[in-house]
Structure formats: structure tokens, C-alpha cells
């Protein structure tokens, strides 16, 4: 979980907040409602997360409620990864 | 010939009462008869509160059926509507609605804080709330009650003159205060007539409505479709931001006419998975508002093959478009240069003049001036800025677009750049000065300078340089968050750079050229 959050944080810092120090972007800093990430950036971040972690996020997982904080995004990723592993297991059986 | 915009609805409602006029993102719809009677109920309600010709009504509504009913209801009452971005900072919206002294406000219940302060002179004659959040507000009338208002048999539209204002659209202002472009019925009618001749819509057409109503591209989606008895399909803010869902929407609704900024079309190409969504019903794709990167346009044409594509060009002040270019069916693989903006629309006349107001030779750069029936009536309450926007030559008033172009008899006009500090981003006009004013409002910033650079992917990037002499300067996160309370999201800088102090010229003005040079050097 910590790794996921850190990877997302580094991506946001380098892509959308160059020059900002790591401490100012906390796990619970609002991203969408604060204006740090706009709709275009949200698409870029979604694409990054899906590719980097090999998951597919649904529309509701990129809504303001589920995509507003690094902690929430990481939770969605983790949930998806667990589900993905589960269904892969089923396929093997 | 129509004399006012509401006549389009009245005529289509008489001819096609049971055809679908408008459908929202969720699939809720209104027939022509329903749209006509609901807007008449609103017009009668407004008239009962004394609102009519010469008045302005603010609309702060999400994309939806109520917004379309409101537009026609206000017009039928003889008043002008002022659509304001429901997602913009409330403070900015309130300044706009106060500036044009609205007499009535139709507002989503969640946006009530945009209402102008109710000091005596500016008191609203009507406050109408849409949606659940607004119920129970004192002095407010609910949307439901408005719609059951008895329709007055005396039709106020009889007194509308084509020179009356139909709507006011606020665009970014260089001093920090947005300015309102006043568009008359005659302005919009002349443009819509040109669209009819050029695009020949039919009642079976299904139009997209991607543009928000505070953006003038929406004029095509609403009035052109209604005039021809077609249907228009409203794209909500959430849907409009989600390329995958948009591609599915185009397929499911079997849309035939699409109009949006290149920005959203570029996103559709990159994130919309177009190959798995059928766009074969599209016959016409219109885009405008900014440069369309050719690589994305070429890719789009590979997916939406059946459509004819047009690049439309024009500032809000001339009503949507004054030049148009049909994109060739085949785009060469090695073409990188953006397409020209084309030839003047038949209702517009153009001149390209140099700094001294003298015509330039073909092929030379100059500023584009426009004359014709679609040229706006001026900026609300700003006689000086209005006067400065026009140049008189041979007793003809030419509107100065501020856009530098060159003309070529084969391709028409090519857009070269701007005369001033305005940039286009996602189809919106942004005065860099307005972003600077927003930043200067931050108590712990000393200096702010905003510049822009072209960007192959995003079209343009906006970079803010700031300095602070505070003991604990704001962080970049703080400043981004602060900007979001002052300006709409599309105006927020892509990047904020701190400096101990900003470079100054010998006359002690901020040295923008030095900042740009720095960025260009960095990009290499």
C-alpha cells in the first residue's frame, strides 16, 4: 500500500507539481476539489495508474469521491489488484 | 425569416410537436410541444414579476433540460440570458451577475451563493431554484412551481425587436474582471442562417451538445437543431470529461452532428477507445476555438470515416464563427502544419490590416477585422473597451479580432497568433492578466507573472512565475488551491515556479521575454 501511494505521489509531483516538496502532497491532500488536478490531468493520472499497476478502473473509481486523495486512489488500486489475483486464481481452477 | 431566436422553437413546435427536441445525458427528454409549453410557462412567470425587454436573467445551471427550458423561457419573455459556469468559483460568478445587474436568477440549488448581494437597487425580482437543494429558500420559487404557472395568452415575443439582446457571454478580461459580450437576436440569427445554408440540417439529425451554455459554440447545438426540428443531446459535465463514455454516447445515441473544441476530440482519440465504439452515424464534425493538432485530427478521421469535417473560427464577439475551412477527405501522412481557418462565412466581410490600419498584400501577416450582421453590440457597460474593439473605415465599423492571420487565395486565412496576451486553452479564451490578478490576491505573494508556451500535446501551457517575501511562503499546492477559488479550472496554471524575485526591464516592468527565454532554454 505504501509503495502504491508513493508511486502515485511521485508521478503527481513530477508531472503536475514540478518544484513542490514531497511533504506538501500528503496522502489526504485533496487533488480534484482543490484544483491541483484538473479534468485533463485526472485522465493522465488514470492512464498512468492503470498502466503502472496493471488494473482497469471503472468510471465511479475516478469520480471526485474516489479519486480525490492519494489514499483513495491507492485503495482502489489495491482492491483491483486483489480482485484480479482472485479471478486469475479461479481461471486456473 | 425569423425575427427572434424563440421563433425557431415556436415554428418547430407547431410543425413537429411530438418529435424529440432535447435529450439529457441520462435519457430524459422533451418533445417540441413540451419544450414550447414549459418555456412559455417560465416566460409567463417572469412576465408576472415584471421581467421583459431590456432585462437580464442569470442562469447558473448544470447541463440539463431545465437549462434549455430556461434559455427559451427567458427569450420568450423578451429578456436576455446570462449563462454562467456553475462549476466556476462562486465569487467570480457573483461579480459577473452583479456587473450586468440581473433582475432574475435561475440557479441550481447547490449554487445559491452566486446570487448578487441583495442591496436595494440590485434586488432580484425573481429567484428560481432548480433541484432539491434549493427547496425551502426564502423568497425563492421552485422550478416545479414555475412549470405549473398558467401560460399567459398574451405572447410577449410579439414585441421583441431583432436588435434586442438575446444573451451576454462573459469572457476573460485582462484586468481581472471578465467582460460581457452582448449578442443580439439579429447577430445569432444571421449566423444560424449561414449554418443552415452550409450544413443543411434535417429533422432526423441528432446533434451533440458538448459545449457548456456559457460557451458560444452551444448556440449551434441549441438553435440550429431546434430551427430544423432535429434533436440535441446534452452532454453533462461529468460525461463531457470522460472520453470512454463519450465515445459510447456517440455510438448509442447514433449522433449525426458533432461540434466541440479540438481539445475534447484529441482526448477522444487518445483515451476514448474509438475503435470499439461505432461512430458511423456521424455525417458532420465541426470543431473550433483553438488549433487542432494534425496528428489527432488524422487519427480521428480514421475512426469517424463517414463525416465531413469543418474547422470554424471566430471570437465570441462575432457570434461563433466568421470563417470556415472544410478539411480535405485525405490528410497527407507527413502533414504537420495545422489546417487553415479558411474563407469568410457568407454573412461576414473581412479585412487584414497592418498596425497603421492599412490593408496588407496577400500572403503578408496582418490583423483580421470583421464586419457583418453577426458582429456583437459591444461589451456590457464598457463603452471604452467597446470603442477600442472597433475601427472605422469608409463608414464601416470593423471589429478587431486581435488575431494575426495571413491570406492565401488557395487555402484562405491561416491563423498566425495573437496581438496581445490572450491565449486559447481548451477552446476558452484566457487573459493571462486575469490569472495574474488572481495570484496577486494571495496575501503572501509579492509578484506574479504568467506566460504561455505552445505545446504539441496540450496546445498551450500556462506557466506562472511568483515570488514571496513572507516568512513562510505558500507552497505550490497552496497556490493551486487558491487559484481554484478565484478562476475556473481551465485558467489554473499548469506550472507554478518560485523565484526570489522576478526579472525586470530597465523601466521596472516585469520582463516577460526573459521568463519566456528561460522556459525555451529549459525545453531544449
Contact residues on chain B for A35, CB-CB shorter than 8 A: 480-481, 483-485, 489, 492
Contact (CB<8Å) B490/A38: yes
Q: Does A24 reach chain B within 8 Å, measured CB to CB?
A: yes
Q: Does A35 reach chain B within 8 Å, measured CB to CB?
A: yes
pLDDT at A93: 36
Q: Does A38 reach chain B within 8 Å, measured CB to CB?
A: yes
Contact (CB<8Å) B489/A36: no
- Which stretches of B345-414 are DSSP H helices? 383-388
* Partner-chain residue, chosen from B475, B492, B495, that has the shortest CB–CB distance to A24: B475
Q: Which of B246, B476, B491 should be substituted to probe chain A, the one whose Cβ sees the most A Cβ atoms within 10 Å?
A: B476
Q: Does A25 reach chain B within 8 Å, measured CB to CB?
A: yes
- CATH number of the structural domain B430-522: 3.30.300.30
Q: Does B266 reach chain A within 8 Å, measured CB to CB?
A: no
pLDDT at B98: 94
Chain centroid to CA B143: 25
Cα B12–B16–B20 angle (5° rounding)?
Answer: 95
Q: Is residue A36 packed enough to be buried (19+ CB in 10 Å), middle (13-18) or exposed (0-12)?
A: buried
pLDDT at B161: 96
Distance between A24 CA and the closest CA of chain B, angstroms? 7
Distances (CA, A) of B385 to B96, B183, B314, B388: 17, 16, 19, 5
Which residues make up the CATH 3.40.50.980 domain(s) of chain B?
33-160
* Partner-chain residue, chosen from B244, B426, B480, that has the shortest CB–CB distance to A35: B480
Beta bridge partners, B31, equal B20
Which residues make up the CATH 3.30.300.30 domain(s) of chain B?
430-522
- In CATH terms, B33-160 corresponds, of 3.40.50.2300, 3.40.190.10, 3.40.50.980, 3.90.1150.10, to 3.40.50.980
Contact (CB<8Å) B267/A36: no
Residues B464, B519: Cα–Cα separation, whole Å: 11
pLDDT at A91: 39
Q: Which of residues 394-453 of B touch A (CB under 8 A)?
A: 426
Residues B64, B76: Cα–Cα separation, whole Å: 19
Contact residues on chain B for A20, CB-CB shorter than 8 A: 475-477
Phi, psi of B268 (to 5 degrees): -60, -45
Contact residues on chain A for B494, CB-CB shorter than 8 A: 16
Contact residues on chain A for B484, CB-CB shorter than 8 A: 34-35
pLDDT at B120: 44
Contact (CB<8Å) A25/B477: yes
- In this structure, the dihedral spanned by the alpha carbons of residues B430, B103, B63 and B373, taken in order and rounded to 10 degrees, is -60
- Whether pLDDT at A59 is above 90: no
Distance between B289 CA and the closest CA of chain A, angstroms? 17
Beta bridge partners, B379, equal B181
pLDDT at A86: 55
Contact (CB<8Å) B477/A42: no
**pLDDT tens digits, A19-54:** 999 999 999 999 998 889 988 788 889 989 999 999
Q: Which of B480, B481, B494, B498 should be substituted to probe chain A, the one whose Cβ sees the most A Cβ atoms within 10 Å?
A: B480
Answer positive or negative: Cα dihedral of B460, B317, B60, B464. positive
* Partner-chain residue, chosen from A18, A34, A43, that has the shortest CB–CB distance to B480: A34
* Partner-chain residue, chosen from B245, B426, B458, that has the shortest CB–CB distance to A59: B245
Contact (CB<8Å) A38/B495: no
Distance between B511 CA and the closest CA of chain A, angstroms? 22
Q: Which of residues 448-507 of B touch A (CB under 8 A)?
A: 458, 475-478, 480-481, 483-485, 489-490, 492, 494-498
> Cell numbers of B470, please?
513572507
Q: Encode burial over B131-169: b for 16+ CB neighbours within 10 A, e otherwise.
A: beebeeeeebbbbeebbebebeeebbbeebebebbbbbb
Contact (CB<8Å) B267/A42: no
pLDDT along chain B (524 residues), means of 10: 95 98 98 97 96 97 97 97 94 94 95 76 84 75 93 82 98 90 98 98 98 95 98 94 92 98 92 94 96 92 97 97 96 91 98 93 96 98 96 94 95 92 89 94 95 83 95 95 92 94 88 93 77
Which ipTM was obtained for this model? 0.86
Stronger pLDDT, B1 or A69, i.e. the higher one: A69
Phi, psi of B385 (to 5 degrees): -65, -35
Q: Which of residues 64-93 of A touch B (CB under 8 A)?
A: none
* Partner-chain residue, chosen from B476, B485, B492, that has the shortest CB–CB distance to A20: B476
Question: Contact, B420 vs B449, CB < 8 A?
Answer: no
Q: Does B239 reach chain A within 8 Å, measured CB to CB?
A: no
Contact (CB<8Å) B481/A34: yes
Question: Contact, B318 vs B389, CB < 8 A?
Answer: no
Contact (CB<8Å) A24/B492: no
Residues B61, A40: Cα–Cα separation, whole Å: 22
- In this structure, the dihedral spanned by the alpha carbons of residues A22, A25, A26 and A31, taken in order and rounded to 10 degrees, is -160
Q: Which of residues 153-212 of B touch A (CB under 8 A)?
A: none
**pLDDT tens digits, B282-301:** 999 999 988 898 999 999 99
Taking residue B508's Cβ as centre, other Cβ atoms within 10 Å add up to: 7
> Cell numbers of B195, please?
449554418
Distance between B442 CA and the closest CA of chain A, angstroms? 15
Contact (CB<8Å) A43/B267: yes
Contact (CB<8Å) B480/A36: yes
Amino acid at each position: 500500500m505504501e509503495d502504491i501511494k508513493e508511486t502515485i505521489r511521485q508521478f503527481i509531483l513530477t508531472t503536475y507539481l514540478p518544484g513542490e516538496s514531497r511533504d506538501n502532497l500528503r496522502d489526504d491532500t485533496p487533488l480534484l476539489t482543490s484544483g491541483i488536478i484538473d479534468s485533463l490531468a485526472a485522465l493522465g493520472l488514470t492512464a498512468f495508474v492503470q498502466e503502472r499497476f496493471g488494473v482497469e478502473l471503472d468510471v465511479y473509481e475516478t469520480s471526485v469521491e474516489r479519486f480525490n486523495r492519494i489514499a483513495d486512489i491507492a485503495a482502489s488500486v489495491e482492491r483491483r489488484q486483489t480482485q484480479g489475483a482472485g479471478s486469475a486464481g479461479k481461471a486456473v481452477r | 425569416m425569423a425575427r427572434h431566436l424563440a421563433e425557431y422553437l415556436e415554428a418547430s413546435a407547431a410543425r413537429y410537436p411530438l418529435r424529440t427536441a432535447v435529450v439529457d445525458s441520462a435519457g430524459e427528454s422533451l418533445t417540441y410541444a413540451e419544450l414550447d409549453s414549459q418555456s412559455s410557462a417560465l416566460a409567463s412567470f417572469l412576465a408576472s414579476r415584471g421581467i421583459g425587454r431590456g432585462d437580464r436573467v442569470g442562469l447558473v445551471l448544470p447541463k440539463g433540460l431545465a437549462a434549455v427550458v430556461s434559455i427559451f423561457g427567458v427569450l420568450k419573455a423578451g429578456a436576455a440570458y446570462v449563462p454562467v459556469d456553475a462549476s466556476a468559483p462562486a465569487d467570480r460568478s457573483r461579480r459577473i451577475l452583479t456587473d450586468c445587474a440581473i433582475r432574475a436568477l435561475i440557479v441550481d440549488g447547490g449554487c445559491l451563493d452566486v446570487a448578487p448581494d441583495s442591496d436595494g437597487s440590485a434586488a432580484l425580482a425573481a429567484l428560481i431554484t432548480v433541484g432539491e437543494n434549493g427547496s425551502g429558500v426564502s423568497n425563492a420559487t421552485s422550478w416545479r412551481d414555475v412549470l405549473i404557472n398558467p401560460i399567459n395568452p398574451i405572447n410577449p415575443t410579439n414585441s421583441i425587436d431583432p436588435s434586442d439582446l438575446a444573451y451576454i457571454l462573459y469572457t476573460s478580461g485582462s484586468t481581472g474582471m471578465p467582460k460581457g459580450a452582448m449578442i443580439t437576436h439579429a447577430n445569432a440569427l444571421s449566423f444560424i442562417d449561414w449554418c443552415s445554408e452550409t450544413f443543411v440540417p434535417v429533422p432526423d439529425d441528432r446533434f451533440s451538445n458538448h459545449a457548456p451554455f456559457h460557451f458560444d459554440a452551444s448556440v449551434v447545438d441549441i438553435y440550429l437543431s431546434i430551427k430544423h426540428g432535429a434533436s440535441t443531446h446534452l452532454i453533462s459535465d461529468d460525461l463531457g470529461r470522460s472520453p470512454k463514455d463519450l465515445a459510447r454516447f456517440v455510438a448509442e445515441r447514433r449522433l449525426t452532428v458533432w461540434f466541440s473544441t479540438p481539445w475534447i476530440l484529441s482526448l477522444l482519440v487518445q483515451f476514448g477507445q474509438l475503435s470499439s465504439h461505432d461512430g458511423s452515424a456521424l455525417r458532420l464534425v465541426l470543431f473550433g476555438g483553438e488549433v487542432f493538432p494534425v496528428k489527432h485530427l488524422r487519427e480521428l478521421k480514421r475512426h469517424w470515416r463517414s463525416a465531413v469535417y469543418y474547422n470554424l473560427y471566430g471570437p465570441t464577439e462575432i457570434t461563433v464563427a466568421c470563417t470556415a475551412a472544410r478539411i480535405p477527405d485525405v490528410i497527407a501522412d507527413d502533414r504537420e502544419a495545422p489546417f487553415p481557418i479558411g474563407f469568410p462565412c457568407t454573412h461576414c466581410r473581412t479585412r487584414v490590416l497592418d498596425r497603421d490600419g492599412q490593408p496588407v498584400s496577400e500572403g503578408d501577416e496582418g490583423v483580421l477585422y470583421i464586419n457583418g450582421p453577426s458582429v456583437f453590440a459591444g461589451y456590457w457597460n464598457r463603452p471604452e473597451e467597446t470603442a477600442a474593439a472597433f475601427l472605422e473605415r469608409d463608414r464601416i465599423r470593423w471589429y478587431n479580432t486581435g488575431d494575426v492571420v495571413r491570406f492565401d487565395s488557395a487555402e484562405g486565412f491561416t491563423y498566425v497568433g495573437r496581438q496581445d496576451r490572450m491565449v486559447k486553452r481548451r477552446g476558452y479564451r484566457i487573459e493571462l492578466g486575469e490569472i495574474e490578478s488572481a495570484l496577486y490576491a494571495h496575501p503572501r505573494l509579492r509578484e506574479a507573472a504568467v506566460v504561455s508556451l505552445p505545446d504539441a500535446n496540450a496546445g498551450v501551457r500556462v506557466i506562472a512565475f511568483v515570488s514571496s517575501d513572507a516568512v513562510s511562503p505558500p507552497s505550490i499546492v497552496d497556490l493551486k488551491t487558491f487559484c481554484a477559488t478565484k478562476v475556473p479550472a481551465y485558467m489554473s496554471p499548469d506550472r507554478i515556479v518560485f523565484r526570489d524575485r522576478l526579472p525586470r526591464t530597465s523601466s521596472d516592468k516585469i520582463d516577460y521575454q526573459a521568463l519566456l527565454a528561460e522556459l525555451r532554454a529549459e525545453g531544449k
